[in-house]
Amino acid sequence: MIEHESDAGQLADRLDAALPPHQHTINDLNGDERVNAAARLAAAPPPELSPEAMARMQQRVLEAARQQRAQQRIIHFHMPLALRWAAVFLLVFLGMSATIPAAAGSLPGDVLYPVKRGYESVERLLAVSPDARAEVYLTQAGRRLDEAQGLLARNQFDVQLLHEAQTGIAEAAQNFAATSPDVQAQIEVRAAQLARSAADVAQAAAAAGLVAPDEIGDLLPAPTAAPTDAPLPTDMPAPTTSPTDLPTNTPPATQTAVPTVTPPSTASPTPDTVLPTAESGTVIAGSAVNVRKGPGTEFEIIAVLQPGTIVQIIGKSEAGDWEHIRLPDNRAGWISAALIGNDAAAAQPGNPNQVGGGRNNQNCDHPGNYCNAPGQEKNNIPGNNGSQPGQGGNPGNGPPENHPGGGNPSDKPPKDKDK
């Protein structure tokens, strides 16, 4: 054994002389066939990925990163650990004290109302990612509407609350541009619901003579769409928002008056909603497809999409044979219409590239809005069911099969290759 080890040591020395580390040179090989074999390995032109393969694969890797982020978004605050703990302590402290729950139901003018608003600024502070910010703005806009309704029950009205709600919706829309497609759909629907609720409250106030109609003109979606009798009863229950449990996304007025997926803005003839039009399609080709700078194969290729990738469709070429799309990374490009399907779920069942949710259903009557088929969106409301199975207690983890940090990347068979 010792002899063997010294053999190995001698060979190692000879190899270091013939093939010095960190260099490309090959020196005198001394006729040793083992050094020769090593030299053949060193001299052979190494296999290399083509630039196309590099780009293709990078697309795949980034797509995986996006999918993972979409899964983790809700529970993962992107902030330093210390700050995160501070925030948690603050929330726990505030939440445990009796003040906040009591303040949650307070209305403008109440003693505890400033506490509620203070708590809300903490909420906004905690929302670091665009998704979380959009969520918080919408939630808070919903609270302003609840408050306006609560005031109505007291036969009071504060137009300022509705304007604040409007600002919240606009803020959410601003963050909206940066969110991922599946959240976009949810935010869009909720923003539309809130806008509708704001209009309802405004109309109810006007009907009760609490506000002059011209003061609320900007809150109404379209003059003709305004019903004369508002559906808001005065016996509306007071809002029951509690701080630990984010308010539901459906304000009371909407529950009673509006079908969940029909926002008011669509009542106007043009689909000019506050929010950008978002229709999505899925790459249905059998293999990767090119995304080009313009509508035609003569244009430069700017990206390559794998089958099953969901993209946002933002327009069409004049001839209709090219779709103008927005890539998951927000760049715009063109893709042959024949390679894009509109029904994501049906096009590629089980395709691992699907990001879930946010898909368009062409049967919906209202272009510019996502339609929720019953049961289609399992995680419909991001803020409310943040604990997806396997995620809640396990933040920042990939699929459970995967433990690369532990020195054993994966022993499980991977999912089928999708190439």
Partner 1 sequence: MLQPPTSLERTIRKAQSGDEQAIASLYQGYAQKIYRYIAYRVPPEDAEDLTGEVFVKMVEGLPTYRITEVPFEAWLYRIAAARIADYYRRKKRRVEVELDEQTPEAEAQPEEQLLEQQEIEALREALQQLTPEQQSILILRFVERKSHEEVAAMLQRSVSAVKTIQHRALTHLAQALGTRKESRHYLRGSHD
Q: According to CB under 8 A, which one of 2, 3, 9, 231 is a site residue for partner 1?
A: 9
Judged by beta carbon, residue 4 or residue 378, the one nearer partner 1 is 4
Site for partner 1 in 249-308 (CB under 8 A): none
Judged by beta carbon, residue 2 or residue 319, the one nearer partner 1 is 2
User: Closest separation between CB of residue 124 and partner 1, Å?
Assistant: 20
With beta carbons less than 8 A apart as the criterion, state whether 169 and 195 touch: yes
Q: According to CB under 8 A, which one of 53, 222, 338, 346 is a site residue for partner 1?
A: 53
Tell me how many degrees the CA angle 209-213-215 measures, rounded to the nearest 5. 110
DSSP state of 94: H
User: Closest separation between CB of residue 386 and partner 1, Å?
Assistant: 17
Residue 63 in tokens = 């797509």
Query: Considering the rule CB under 8 A, would residue 30 count as an interface residue with partner 1?
Result: yes
Judged by beta carbon, residue 378 or residue 417, the one nearer partner 1 is 417
With beta carbons less than 8 A apart as the criterion, state whether 26 and 39 touch: yes
Site for partner 1 in 72-91 (CB under 8 A): 72, 78
User: Closest separation between CB of residue 136 and partner 1, Å?
Assistant: 19
What is the enclosing helix (H) or strand (E) of 304?
Answer: strand 301-305
Site for partner 1 in 386-405 (CB under 8 A): 395-399, 402-405
List the one residue out of 163, 166, 161, 168 whose CA is nearest residue 147. 161
User: Closest separation between CB of residue 23 and partner 1, Å?
Assistant: 7
- Spell 199-232 as b/e; 16+ CB within 10 A means b: bbbbbbbbeeebbeeeebeebbbeeeebeeebeb
Site for partner 1 in 322-361 (CB under 8 A): 329
Q: How far apart are CA 367 and CA 265, in angstroms?
A: 11
Judged by beta carbon, residue 8 or residue 373, the one nearer partner 1 is 8
Helix, coil or strand: residue 207:
helix
Judged by beta carbon, residue 64 or residue 177, the one nearer partner 1 is 64
Site for partner 1 in 213-242 (CB under 8 A): none
